[in-house]
Amino acid sequence: MVGNLKKSRRIQIMALRINTNVAALNAHRQLLGTETRLNSSMQKLSSGYRINTAGDDASGLVQANAMRANIRSLNVAAQNTIQGKANLAIAEGDANTIEGILERMKELCVKGGGATTQAEMDTLIEEIDRIADSSQASTGTIQVGVDATTASQITTTVSAMGASDLSVATVTADATGIATVDAAIAQIGGILGDIGATMNRLEYTYANLQTQIENLSASESAIRDVDMAAEMVNFTKNQILLQAGTAMLSQANMSTQNVLSLFG
């Protein structure tokens, strides 16, 4: 029995090593991993993003960045539709003014006769040309998508509204001019109809762009943004593990000091 005790004590003494503390190395390795995860949680919680570096989720970062680029492009496209509608509103105002002038010209044709009436008619014709020349409305293409296809573009067309374009440049203030002025009024009505149709289209386009922006933003958020509640759980867990790991590393380092008791 005494021999067994001596053997047991000999085995215990052989297990006390000072050059390589395996327990401390293991505790240190675990502690480093915990610190890395804790720092990652802190970064996510402070930024609000699940993906802060490519190392967090490389493929997710690529997807999220592509979505963000499209969102920005769609915002520009939405602004284009607003600007396009504003330009058409200018053209609409000009056309409405010219329509009012034509209605007055018809009144003069019905009234007929007299140099004074013709002088007013000539002045109205000049005003039509002035409005048409100063109008900022023009035909153009509005980019309403994120690519170069025709599906991402809307062409706005505003017909010319000068006196010659309306065939009233030489109309006289008498009954012979009534049909000419009526035709011009109908022509302006058609222009107003085209402008209104395009403005309505731009309204629907803008609404659709806003829906796309909303959906893409939700998708990007699902990929890039962090779940704050879940990440807070991870943060708390890693805080506890860090405290426990620090304590265990200290305990592992103290175990080597027990060797000194052999010399006491």
How do residues 36-52 score in pLDDT, each as one tens digit?
888 888 989 988 899 98
User: If you average pLDDT over residues 188-198, what whole number do you get?
Assistant: 95
Return the amino acid letter for 76. V
* Closest to 137 in 3D by CA, of 198, 94, 82: 94
Q: Answer yes or no: are the C-beta atoms of 23 and 241 closer than 8 Å.
A: no
pTM of the complete model: 0.75
Q: What residues pair up with 225 in beta bridges, in sequence order?
A: 49
- For CA atoms 30, 33, 35, 37, the dihedral sign is negative
The ranges assigned to domains in the chain are 2-48+226-263, 58-224
User: If you average pLDDT over residues 165-191, what whole number do you get?
Assistant: 94
Distance CA 97, CA 191 (A): 13
Q: Answer yes or no: are the C-beta atoms of 61 and 54 closer than 8 Å.
A: yes
Q: How many residues does the chain have?
A: 264
Q: Which whole-number Å values give the CA distances from 12 to 5, 234, 252, 254, 259, in the listed order?
A: 11, 40, 16, 17, 11
Distance CA 148, CA 104 (A): 46
163: DSSP letter: T
Return the amino acid letter for 207. A
pLDDT of residue 207: 97
Q: H helices of the chain, where?
A: 2-14, 22-47, 58-111, 115-134, 178-224, 228-257
Distance CA 258, CA 97 (A): 102
Q: For the chain, give the mean pLDDT.
A: 87
Instruction: Give me the CATH topology for the region 58-224.
Output: f41 fragment of flagellin, N-terminal domain (1.20.1330)
The percent of residues above 70 in pLDDT, for the chain, comes to 88
User: If you average pLDDT over residues 176-204, what whole number do you get?
Assistant: 95
- For CA atoms 51, 52, 55, 58, the dihedral sign is positive
Distance CA 8, CA 252 (A): 22
